[in-house]
């Protein structure tokens, strides 16, 4: 699927489902699940590389993991989910030329068909506009933007009127620039509904209620693989406990043999 095809989902009121993946196994699980989009999110910094935030993850890390994810896909190219790769911290905050070079590296060296960029500050808008004009599709990301956690923390955004107005203005600006979809993270549902109504491009929510055009989840959160869960995602299974218990049982049984 090409990024521009997502608009059809919204027109036809067809819900978009997206999962993150970070390696061959999670890529294969996400494809098998029938998800429409697989995002190689920079959350892999925490869920796979053991960092405390997304800031340390590098462009090379993202390319390496995006290639591992696509090696997990087994369907024909047309039937594969849309693969999107996050642009990590400092690959798009240092000017348009660098951003084109780095996003270009992702597109040239992986099967990702789009990049995701957090925020909509004026400099970021210039970058997004340039990338799109240069042929690189961009998924926007507003609300809680973890790459800005040193300034804003990891709390819910859009609780005050001023912040709500800014998020709405930013959302409209991102659509105007040509973003093909927009992730809304950890904002009040009522704000997500307003943004969904304002935009023609699909909104994809995480911690933004159930009314967006689609939903995205960090797969490790759904499977309960992390030590810490975000407040807006209940695990479907206690994956870490379950797998840990099974491995302990195996080790104990081997000791007896």
Q: Does the footprint of ligand KIV cover residue 20 (CB under 6 A)?
A: yes
CA dihedral 23, 42, 17, 232 (to 10 degrees): 120
- CB of 12 or CB of 127, closer to ligand KIV: 127
Q: How many CB atoms lie within 10 A of CB 194?
A: 17
- Residues 85-114: x where in contact with ligand KIV by CB under 6 A, - otherwise, as a string: -x----------------------------
Q: Which of 41, 72, 119, 202 binds ligand KIV (CB under 6 A)?
A: 41
Q: Does the footprint of ligand KIV cover residue 170 (CB under 6 A)?
A: no
- CB of 192 or CB of 206, closer to ligand KIV: 206
User: CB of residue 246 vs ligand KIV: minimum separation in angstroms?
Assistant: 26
Per DSSP, the three-state class of 94 is coil
C-alpha–C-alpha distance, residues 36 and 76, integer Å = 14
Q: Does the footprint of ligand KIV cover residue 43 (CB under 6 A)?
A: yes
185 is catalytic: yes
Q: Which of 74, 81, 76 is nearest to 21 (CA)?
A: 81
H-type alpha helices, the chain: 6-11, 24-33, 44-47, 59-71, 96-109, 122-133, 149-152, 161-177, 189-198, 219-222, 239-256
Give the active site residues. Answer: 185
Binding site for ligand KIV (CB under 6 A): 20, 39, 41-43, 86, 183, 185, 206, 216, 218
């Amino acid at each position: 699927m090409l990024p521009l095809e997502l608009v059809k989902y919204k027109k036809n009121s067809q819900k978009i489902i997206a999962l993150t993946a970070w390696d061959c196994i999670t890529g294969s699980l996400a494809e098998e699940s029938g998800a429409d989009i697989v995002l190689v999110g920079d959350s892999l910094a925490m869920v796979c590389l053991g960092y405390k935030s997304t800031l340390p993850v590098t462009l090379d890390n993202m390319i390496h993991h995006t290639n591992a994810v696509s090696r997990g896909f087994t369907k024909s190219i047309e039937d594969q989910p849309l693969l999107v790769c996050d642009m990590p911290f400092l690959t798009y905050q240092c000017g348009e030329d660098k951003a084109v070079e780095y996003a270009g590296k992702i597109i040239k060296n992986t099967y990702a068909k789009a990049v995701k960029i957090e925020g909509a500050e004026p400099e970021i808008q210039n970058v997004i506009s340039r990338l799109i004009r240069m042929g690189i599709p961009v998924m926007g990301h507003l609300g809680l933007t973890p790459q800005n956690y040193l300034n804003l923390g990891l709390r819910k955004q859009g609780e005050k009127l001023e912040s709500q107005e800014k998020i709405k203005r930013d959302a409209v600006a991102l659509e105007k620039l040509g973003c093909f979809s927009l992730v809304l993270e950890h904002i009040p549902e009522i704000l997500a509904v307003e943004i969904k109504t304002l935009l023609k491009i699909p909104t994809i929510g995480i911690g933004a209620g159930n009314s967006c055009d689609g939903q995205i989840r960090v797969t490790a959160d759904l499977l309960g693989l992390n030590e810490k869960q975000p407040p807006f995602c209940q695990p479907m299974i206690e994956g870490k406990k379950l797998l840990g218990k099974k491995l302990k049982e195996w080790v104990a049984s081997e000791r007896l043999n």
